[in-house]
Chains A and B, each alone.
Chain A
Amino acid sequence: MNEGVLNDSSPRAFCAFRADARLYGIDVACLREISANTTITPVPRAPPVIRGLANLRSRIFLILDLRALLGLPPAPCTADSRLIILKPTVAEDMGLLADRGGDILTALPDRIASVDAALPMSDAPSADQARSLVVGMCKLENELMMIIDAVRLADTVARATTNTEVIR
């Protein structure tokens, strides 16, 4: 999966952020910006992975809840929370709400391994979903960073939305 991207020989840059204690990363090539302004308008009746809408310089972004995507229980926004906004080429007007982080770090390809579905994860209902999002692992100094495929992320949400029968 995504061999072409993961097996390049030059160092790769990731935007690293956390959900709960775990560290996740998204290729900076997929990134538009990182924002600390986490004023989010909730969208009632939307599936839980949709956290709400945020206004960044007069553009409205659909914000996904990273925790919900990974099957973690929801948590309120804090001063550490960050919006990871994706490039329009990856997903139109879309971003991710992470618990904290947002730093850029680089890693050489030999520290990165692609993963397949057998990754042990939580047993939460959307564990399958979460597993399908993580496409690689990156070995850092003292922990592992899970690499999330942003394109797949957008697809997952699109599916989640269209499959949600609006409950009367």
Chain B
Amino acid sequence: MSQDPGFAHRFVAEAREHLAAMASAMLALERNQRGSPQPLIEELLRAAHSIKGGAGFTGRRNIEQLAHGFEQAIENIRDGSIDRTAEVVDTLLAVLDRIATLVDDVDRSDESDISEPLARMRPLTTAGTSPHGPPVQTRDEPPPGAASLATATPTTTEGEFKITEQLRKAWPDDRGFLYGVKLDWSQCERQFGLPPMIVAERIERAGRVLDSRTQVAGPALRDGPPRPPFWYLAIVSSSVALDAFTGELDISCATVVQLGQKPGVASEKDRPPAAEAPRPRGAATATSLRVSVPLVDRMMALAGELVLVRNQALRSADPANSPLRRLLRRLDSVTNELQDAALRMRTQPVGTLFDRFPRVVRDLARQLGKQIDVRITGAEVELDKTILELLSDPLTHLIRNCCDHGIEMPERRVESGKPPGGRIGLSARQERGQIVIEINDDGRGIDAEAIRRTAIEQGLKRGDELDRMSDRQLFGLILLSGFSTAKRLTDLSGRGVGMDVVKTNLDQIGGVVEIDSVAGRGSTFTLRLPLTLAIMPCLLVQTDGQCYGVPQRDVEEILLLDARVARRRIERSHDGEVLRWRGRLLPVVRIRDVLGRQTFDASEAVTGEAATASTGYAAVVRLGSRRFVLAFDEVVGSENIVVKPLHPLLRPLGIYAATTILGDGGVALILSGEGVARHVGILDKAVGDGVEALPGAASDTREESVLLFRCGPEELLGVHMRAVRRVVMIAPDRITRIGARELVNVDGAATNVIRIDHVLNVSACRDADRLFLLLSSDRDRHVGLLVSEIVDTPTLALQLDARAYRADGVLGSAMIRGQIALFLDLDRIVRIWEQVNQPGLLALPDGKAAAGRILVVDDTRFFQKLVAEHLRGARYEVTVADNGSAALARLREERPDLVVCDIEMPVMDGHAFARAVRVDPSIARTPLVALTTLNTPESRAAAAQSGFDAYEVKLDRQTLLATVDRLLNRARASGELAGAQSHE
């Protein structure tokens, strides 16, 4: 009737919300047999009434009629004239479904035949009203409830409301006032911007509508659309006096007349009645509004563009122009916040999805003759709308599966000692930047044997393959297409589509599913989903000159694959390379092999040598509980990229998840971890799960505590905790300047302040109200590094890369949680600073000559240098060798006082070296210290057996120094200091 399409949209949107709320209220009403149903009934009536009103106004007769019938049925339930039996609830739910269908195609809703639902509902609607009035009416006659309203003449309000006896009975005692409200729907909408749904809600809020009617003046419908005014008349009961009621109503174009007052009712003046909610609606309209999804998407896209502009600006800004850089940093943070806000606009609570499942489960349970209860937790967790939509099918499927295959028949449950009613739990929570949705049941669990049998029958797996699989992997097979263990196909989960639907949809949104089950006890399906699809934290990597993104959520760790690591940790297995990683064997996938090389432009072509260069990086990619190693050439960085969907024609390739635009305007492909794994076929292999522990293999990478901090605003810096004695907080105004030096009082001792930008080429320490001083672990030196912010103190396995950033005082860089951190050699920094500021101190302490001469043997240049520097710092003279055989030559020639030696080395390893030393009388007494990453009792015993005097683990400087000191003193005491002899 209303020609305004916007109005119809609002009606549809609001009707959908009402319908969803009504369905859950119906279910609650059914469950809640004993408790007071009053609030639920009120809610149902209000909602039905709103839909009726909106449908009436927009001229959707079918919807109006069904809503009206529904309303009557609920009134009859309220009055007790019909019972809340399951059949009644079934019927009413079916009516709601029908209304929902009509609402979905609202423009053609009146073309549909609704005689069936009306007929089905008739016993419910007539039960109470038949004594008083006619059954459901057509529009041209007044609806049954309106029988109490006199035929209104639209120009007057006098006498338009007639109070019948029936109405008097319905007038509740606690609402002593009776009002007549009259308004024109079209006037409310046009002049006051109040759509009928809002008007109806305000009326409901102000009091309880006992009777109401919409009247359309003018020609009959067949003469064309009617013209305003569209009068609405309502008889409303309320507990407040006229003024308060009018204020509560807050519709200025409505006329209100008082029709009656119960005797002895005191006017409650301006206070809103306690029984009514204190105007939540008013608050809600002020703080939220409806925005169309395309608009939000557009905003999201624009925020994304802004990010690109920002990146380009940052890149082209002159580093020396600090005001500009400050502005850009500000732009940077504003952009981030904008993006974040735009992102949040897209999210919705998962409850909007979860809410439908009690209904689904109820219907299924009735159909199957089971008793199933649904428990929902975490409905308030927010998730990207797009993900919610794509999640609907997989969740429905899983829930159906639980009802159908999981929960047993009541008799069966009782036999096995369970309560007859089954339980399905549905929960959502946020965990590590992901949303985790869990569906569990207390049913019979998954029969692993049946899965095995089916897998073999259908030729999906061989018996020996199945033997190697863990339970979880076995359960994972049910996600394969065409897999069904159900003994019979039911209407529910087995209609030709299997659980592969779940997997397909989840793949699409970058989610994973894991299945756990205990036979007889139940099953749990765990879905892990990204928070949003619009922005994705990505690791950007480079191979053959092309940049690719790897979703950060898939990346567990980044490893440096230099020649040494590759030699020691990569092995060839029967059908590919595997890498030893924390006691597991992970398959190695080289991006180059996956992508092949297919470049047309000569400039893009890569020479064979570069392509086969042995050093590179690798990411440990984790997909659920499976891992593999993805090898590539370079790490470009880590960024929150704005996801652009993959062109549909590229989707069949399977290995890409999306695309993005880089800061330089180029396009980068985002790899799908899952797709890559499937492409190379490792997901099917037993080795692909990465859970096979290596027998006796000790973890190669030691976890260590590090301190992450910032000095200037830009770099993330790190030091080993061992290198730091203490962190103290200082007030910047307490720093005293003496000449070129700055000192601050720490524990009563004047302590030198090192500013990092004086030593390294990094940004200067920010000014702040409070700063921190990292005190060097060397107690003799009263120095500390000035730090503006302590970020974190994680314990992790560091893979330091010494190549990307080379500078004296820097150990290397490492990727920590997607950020590149520069790791400092604090001791070295202190000494560099001293050379500049306290040259005198470098002289050896009085009386002591060089403390001794040490040979450091290590095949890794990085460690060689690190250990040598450290020992030199402790006033030793140091020479180095790359392996055992070179060391042996040096030892014979130079006769150092002591040898610090790695164990695992090429040519001649540490054991062979030690044995060779011990059998050569000229050098046999030289103290030997083993220094290695291995730390097991076996390796210690082996080192002692080979002839080492001490065993040190890489790299604890203080204990190494102590050991060296101890061994040298012992050697000196026995008067056989090799150095002394050689000097004579």
Chain B nearest CB from A79 CB (Å) reads 13
User: What's the least CB distance linking A150 to chain B, in Å?
Assistant: 15
Task: Write out the residue numbers on chain B whose beta carbons fall within 8 Å of the beta carbon of A41.
Answer: 546, 666-669
Q: Which residues of B contact A43 (CB under 8 A)?
A: 650, 653, 656, 669
Q: Cβ of A5: which chain B residues have Cβ within 8 Å of it?
A: none
Instruction: Mark the stretch among A21-29, A70-78, A114-122, A125-133 that contacts chain B.
Output: A70-78
Residues from chain B with Cβ under 8 Å of A139 in the complex: none
> Is B739 interfacial (CB-CB < 8 Å)?
no
A55 x B667 contact (CB < 8 A): yes
* Interface residue range, chain B: 35 or more
Q: Known A39-B666, A53-B647, A58-B305; judge A44-B679 contact (CB<8 A).
A: no
Q: Which of B595, B644, B661 contacts A44 (CB 8 A)?
A: B595
Chain A nearest CB: distance from B373 CB in Å? 46
* Mask of A78-98 contacts with B, CB within 8 angstroms, 1/0: 000000000000001110000
* CB-contact partner of A60 in B301, B648, B661, under 8 A: B661
Interface residue from A50, A92, A168 paired with B650 (Cβ < 8 Å): A50
Which residues of B are in contact with A by a Cβ distance under 8 Å? 301, 304-305, 308, 546, 594-604, 644, 647-650, 652-656, 659, 661, 665-669, 679-681
Among residues of A, the one whose C-beta sits closest to the C-beta of B603 is A76
Nearest-neighbour CB distance to chain A for B905, whole angstroms, equals 39
Q: Does A111 contact B (CB under 8 A)?
A: no
Distance between Cα atoms of A43 and B597 in the complex (Å): 10
Against B, the Cβ 8 Å flags (1 = close, 0 = not) of A7-41 are 00000000000000000000000000000000101
A142, CB-defined interface residue at 8 Å: no
Question: Within 8 Å of chain B (Cβ to Cβ): is A54?
Answer: yes
Query: Do B652 and A162 have beta carbons less than 8 Å apart?
Result: yes
Taking A42-B604, A45-B596, A74-B600 as contacts, is the C-beta distance between A53 and B669 under 8 angstroms? yes
- By the criterion CB–CB under 8 Å, are A42 and B679 in contact? no
- Contacts A62-B649, A75-B600, A166-B653; A53 near B667 (Cβ below 8 A): yes
Q: Is the CB of A55 within 8 A of B679?
A: no
Which residues of A, 59-73, contact B by the 8 Å Cβ criterion? 60, 62, 65
For residue A164, CB closer than 8 A to chain B, the reply is yes
28 sampled A-B residue pairs with Cβ under 8 A: A41-B546, A41-B668, A42-B600, A44-B594, A44-B595, A44-B596, A44-B598, A45-B598, A46-B598, A52-B667, A54-B667, A55-B661, A55-B667, A58-B304, A60-B644, A60-B647, A60-B659, A62-B650, A75-B600, A76-B600, A76-B602, A92-B648, A157-B649, A161-B650, A164-B652, A166-B655, A167-B596, A168-B680
Chain B residues lying within 8 Å of A161, measured Cβ to Cβ, are 649-650, 652-653
Q: Which residue of B lies closest to A76 (CB)?
A: B601
CB within 8 Å of B: which of A140-168?
Answer: 157-158, 161-162, 164, 166-168
Cβ-closest chain B residue relative to A42: B599
Pairs A-B, 9 closest by C-beta atoms = A44-B595, A76-B601, A41-B667, A53-B667, A62-B647, A74-B600, A161-B649, A55-B667, A55-B661
CA gap between A153 and B301 in the complex, in Å: 29
B contact residues around A45 at 8 Å (CB): 594-596, 598, 653, 655
CB of B651 to closest CB in A, whole Å:
9
Given contacts A60-B661, A168-B681, contact A46 B667 (CB under 8 A): no
Q: Which of the listed residues B305, B598, B668 has the most CB atoms from chain A within 10 Å of its own CB?
A: B598
A51 within 8 A of partner (CB) = yes
**From residue B20, how far is it (CB to closest CB) to chain A in Å?**
34
Chain B residues contacting A168 (CB-CB under 8 Å) are 679-681
Given A41-B667, A43-B669, output 13 extra A-B contacts at Cβ < 8 Å. Answer: A39-B665, A42-B599, A44-B595, A46-B650, A50-B649, A50-B650, A54-B667, A55-B666, A76-B600, A93-B647, A161-B649, A167-B596, A168-B679
- Measured in the bound complex, the distance between the Cα atoms of B667 and A41 in whole Å is 6
Given contacts A43-B669, A55-B661, contact A65 B595 (CB under 8 A): no
- Given A158-B649, A161-B650; A53-B659 close (CB under 8 Å): yes
CB of A154, distance to nearest CB on chain B (Å):
9
Nearest CB in chain B: distance from A34 CB, A: 18
Report A155 CB to chain B, min CB distance, Å. 11
CB neighbours (8 Å) of B595 from chain A are 44-45
Name, among A50, A60, A62, A168, the residue most crowded by chain B CB atoms within 10 Å (CB to CB): A60
Measured between beta carbons, the chain A residues less than 8 angstroms from B597 are: 44
Chain A proximity of B655: nearest CB distance (Å):
6
CA distance A161 to B649 in the complex (A): 6
Q: Which secondary structure characterizes the binding site on chain B?
A: mixed
| Highest count of chain B CB atoms <10 Å: which of A58, A93, A161 | A58
Shortest beta-carbon distance from B619 to chain A in Å: 18
A65–B600 contact, CB under 8 A? yes
Residue numbers in B under 8 Å from A46 (CB-CB): 598, 650, 653
- Chain B residue at minimal CB-CB distance from A51: B600
B546 is contacted by which of A42, A58, A76 (Cβ under 8 Å)? A42
Residue of B at shortest CB range from A62?
A: B647
CA distance A14 to B647 in the complex (A): 27
Closest to A74 in B: B600
B665 surroundings in chain A (CB, below 8 A): 39, 55
Q: Which residues of B contact A55 (CB under 8 A)?
A: 661, 665-667
- Give complex CA distance A74, B666 in Å: 22
Min CB distance A164 to B, Å, is 7
Please indicate the chain A residues that have their CB under 8 angstroms from the CB of B668 in the complex.
Answer: 41
A58 to B642, CA, bound (A): 11
Chain A residues lying within 8 Å of B602, measured Cβ to Cβ, are 76
* Alpha-carbon distance A52/B653, docked complex (angstroms): 13
- Residues of chain B within 8 A of A157, CB atoms compared: 649
Instruction: Give Cα A53–Cα B598 distance, bound, in whole angstroms.
Output: 14
B558 nearest CB across to chain A (Å): 22
Kindly list chain B residues whose C-beta atoms are within 8 Å of the C-beta of A48: 598
Query: Which of B650, B656, B667 is the most central at the interface, judged by chain A CB atoms within 10 Å of its CB?
Result: B667
A18→B680 CA distance, assembly (Å):
39
Find chain A residues with CB under 8 A from B652 CB. 161-162, 164, 166
Least Cβ distance of A146 to chain B in Å? Answer: 23
Give Cα A65 to B669, complex, Å: 19
Neighbouring B residues of A54 by C-beta, 8 Å: 667
Q: How far is the CB of A19 from chain B (nearest CB, A)?
A: 14
Instruction: Closest A residue to B598 by CB, please name it.
Output: A44
Chain B residues contacting A166 (CB-CB under 8 Å) are 652-655, 679
Residues of B within 8 A of A167 (CB): 596
**Chain A min CB distance to B672 (Å):** 12
Q: How far is the CB of A39 from chain B (nearest CB, A)?
A: 6
Once bound together, how far apart are the Cα atoms of A35 and B680, in whole Å?
37
Give A50 to B597 CA distance when docked, in angstroms.
14
A58: B residues at CB distance < 8 A: 301, 304-305, 308, 661
Q: Which residues of A contact B648 (CB under 8 A)?
A: 92
The chain A residue with its CB closest to the CB of B308 is: A58
For A44, the chain B residues whose CB sits under 8 A away are 546, 594-598
In the complex, chain B residues whose CB is within 8 Å of the CB of A42: 546, 598-600, 604
A7 to chain B, nearest CB (A): 32
CA of A167 to CA of B598, assembled, Å: 13
Chain B positions within 8 Å of A62 at CB level: 647, 649-650
Instruction: Kindly state the separation between the CA atoms of A83 and B669 in the bound complex, as whole angstroms.
Output: 20
